[in-house]
Structure 1
């Protein structure tokens, strides 16, 4: 254990924070790659309708809407000797492995959509708990001047997890069905869990419950003993009208993602004749390439351009392909057009995602980081889940054109609301007397004044 104790903690190393959060977000991406890309394409190739695919995605992704509950529990309970969040991260990854092994053992077929959706719900619940814990740790640990860069790495890690697992699962589903795909995903999470075990939050903490170490002063100062004060701080932050308007805007933008989750695999496989593996590979590789480009570019771009300009630019990349698909004459939206659509949309969403999570962190009170940031993320996730189910029904009832038009309108509405809310203006946080957006100016006892916004 002496060699392990010599390893720096996340709070001590900028490079370790960058690499550590990148790896932790890969873990979250693995189950998402199965449920958002590989399995929907496999279902469509086996005759599932848009409504059925939408039901599967909407059910499987629903746990990401429960993040406020997860956050409240994490802010209330923690194993302090291992840090505020780390025990939750390791425990949720172990449970994710168990859920994937159960999925592999039951191995439902493409006609057992309800069972498959229930199993996907279970392992995504574990992933959602993991996400809340990682995000809470990020708000606790990251200095503000690192957030855009590290959030870019986090987004890159997630998309690598999503894309890599989708490509792997796409081939596995064709070769051995759900049994092989889930087993391979579980193996990846095992490796990542071993790695995360080595990443302490602060120096002197335990690596595992049975190893030496003590709780840090920062962790003890942030401890909570009751739920209601936590919930009160969280809701007071959301009650500010600018914050509420910003979250509504993010929700509108994310609803368009729920549409693309359903329409892109069903349209590509059912209408254009792609195989499920071809769709999974193209969608995953293009999403990975565009997100990695955004991950590298987002830091320099944020240093040079106003965040509002970047927000409009990336949202435009989401809006334009949907508008083009709606306006295209019948029968002219072919394979090349669909490939362009997929690449532009996911590239645009990667940029919007990074900008929004960085801004949400700026609005989050570190004292209740897991709960408040979880709520900021739960709202768009819930809308995305609803969008998946709803747009599947729109396609079945009104056709693809209606779904493309609704998605374009949702992006436009969302960006407008974010800009009205003052998105990108740091003075809305720095000067609460004039902007009235500060999350909570009153710190908890024992927490230094001014720590509500780090």
Structure 2
């Protein structure tokens, strides 16, 4: 498959890569998180595990310039990074399978997952850079929707399978399976080429590597980051994921501990919610193309805020299976709707000369925002703040990115 050949090839190839990205995240952020809660891990413990696992996402700002610098392989500009990141994550899964156990401390489990996500973040940066390289302006919105939908389907499918494997066979066996799965995917992506001149597999470079470009990339990135619009965009990314970070470490406790849900049932419903979210992401991407991403972001962010408020008020009613399932599905749908528009906005403002680095900076800030939310929830739980008060805090915080994006929208209009 040559991505440069047609719009269909670009969308199909990138969607496959985003699907692969979602596989380890389904295991870590859904199945494993729900299972750990069921065996006695509290919100503070989950906050430690998830925040450690999430730290590598913030390294994308360091990874991006390397991806922009080392891009003269005969395999293509981005493909070597994708290939070797999948091989690396496969190896980490194999090694971790010998150590991972619920008897380990939250810190030890978090460090295990840290290495998995480190390679996944490299894959993410390289795939984002490939998307920026190949997609034209008029197809970014719907393509981002398709890519996010594919990633969501990958997360959901992996979550369901991982939940079954962990509960019925064992945690070690689940990690072994995901190691073999990533190994298979690393071989599969050899079939995807950016253009006809690229080779399937090669360790040779078409030109001499100039590491001075790494320094130049940071210099160019600094100059771009000084623009008022980009400062506001970074502010939006910094604020946009705090409430979701708090939600991600609290949701398992909300359903399993407070409302007596079974952990496998929770994972299945959360996974089903992701499928709904995948369809909604495509709509979000389409509307970002046809209207503008600012309006999509503002509307979805406000709706998310009021869902958190409803959880804070009616916390105990979630024990009802249908009400609880509806809440999960709505949050998943709105989150995907918001993410598709946010990706479209960030990608559209990334300059192609340092595209990977610029987009990686924005995504690093978004992930740091999530870590802030995870630690905030852990600290509040440690100080005996109730779940209803936690979700009321999420409600208030959800309005902060709305203020930033609204200001940014008006600044763009003036310029």
Does 2:392 align with 1:402?
Answer: no
Offset from partner CA, 1:372-421 (integer Å, 9 cap, x none): 11001000101102211221221342111222122112221111211211
Conserved 8 A contact 2:22-2:153? yes
Mapping of 1:27-426 within 5 angstroms? 27-209=20-202, 225-295=212-282, 297-328=283-314, 331-335=316-320, 336-397=322-383, 398-422=385-409
Q: How far does residue 180 in structure 1 lie from its aligned partner after superposition?
A: 1.6
Match of 1:449 in 2: none
For the structure 1 residues 275 and 331, does the alpha-carbon distance in structure 2 shift closer, same or farther, using more than 3 Å as the test? closer
CA–CA separation in structure 1 for the residues paired with 2:90 and 2:38: 27
For the structure 1 residues 375 and 303, does the alpha-carbon distance in structure 2 shift closer, same or farther, using more than 3 Å as the test? closer
Conserved 8 A contact 1:317-1:348? yes
For the structure 1 residues 110 and 31, does the alpha-carbon distance in structure 2 shift closer, same or farther, using more than 3 Å as the test? farther
Secondary structure of the equivalent of 1:82?
coil
CA–CA separation in structure 2 for the residues paired with 1:259 and 1:288: 22
CA–CA separation in structure 1 for the residues paired with 2:212 and 2:68: 9
For the structure 1 residues 32 and 180, does the alpha-carbon distance in structure 2 shift closer, same or farther, using more than 3 Å as the test? same
Secondary structure of the equivalent of 1:273?
coil
Q: How far does residue 115 in structure 1 lie from its aligned partner after superposition?
A: 2.2
Conserved 8 A contact 1:107-1:177? no
CA–CA separation in structure 1 for the residues paired with 2:54 and 2:293: 29
For the structure 1 residues 361 and 299, does the alpha-carbon distance in structure 2 shift closer, same or farther, using more than 3 Å as the test? closer
Conserved 8 A contact 1:37-1:261? no
CA–CA separation in structure 2 for the residues paired with 1:228 and 1:38: 41
Q: How far does residue 76 in structure 1 lie from its aligned partner after superposition?
A: 1.8
Q: How far does residue 312 in structure 1 lie from its aligned partner after superposition?
A: 2.3
CA–CA separation in structure 2 for the residues paired with 1:186 and 1:79: 29
Any gaps of 5 or more consecutive residues in structure 1? 1-6, 429-433, 436-454
Offset from partner CA, 1:127-167 (integer Å, 9 cap, x none): 00010011111111111111111111110121111111111
Any gaps of 5 or more consecutive residues in structure 2? none
CA–CA separation in structure 1 for the residues paired with 2:392 and 2:229: 27
The alignment yields a C-alpha RMSD, in angstroms, of 2.2
For the structure 1 residues 40 and 299, does the alpha-carbon distance in structure 2 shift closer, same or farther, using more than 3 Å as the test? closer
CA–CA separation in structure 2 for the residues paired with 1:222 and 1:341: 51
How many residues are aligned here?
413
Conserved 8 A contact 1:250-1:418? no
Conserved 8 A contact 2:149-2:277? no
Q: How far does residue 339 in structure 1 lie from its aligned partner after superposition?
A: 2.2
Offset from partner CA, 1:291-349 (integer Å, 9 cap, x none): 22332x23543354343332222223311210112233x64443344322221112111
Conserved 8 A contact 2:141-2:289? no
Q: How far does residue 111 in structure 1 lie from its aligned partner after superposition?
A: 4.1
Conserved 8 A contact 2:76-2:194? yes
For the structure 1 residues 43 and 338, does the alpha-carbon distance in structure 2 shift closer, same or farther, using more than 3 Å as the test? same
CA–CA separation in structure 2 for the residues paired with 1:161 and 1:97: 16
For the structure 1 residues 221 and 309, does the alpha-carbon distance in structure 2 shift closer, same or farther, using more than 3 Å as the test? farther
CA–CA separation in structure 2 for the residues paired with 1:337 and 1:223: 57
Q: How far does residue 233 in structure 1 lie from its aligned partner after superposition?
A: 1.1
Secondary structure of the equivalent of 2:268?
helix
CA–CA separation in structure 1 for the residues paired with 2:18 and 2:28: 16
CA–CA separation in structure 2 for the residues paired with 1:250 and 1:349: 14
Secondary structure of the equivalent of 2:170?
helix
Q: How far does residue 35 in structure 1 lie from its aligned partner after superposition?
A: 1.8
CA–CA separation in structure 1 for the residues paired with 2:153 and 2:94: 22
For the structure 1 residues 114 and 210, does the alpha-carbon distance in structure 2 shift closer, same or farther, using more than 3 Å as the test? closer
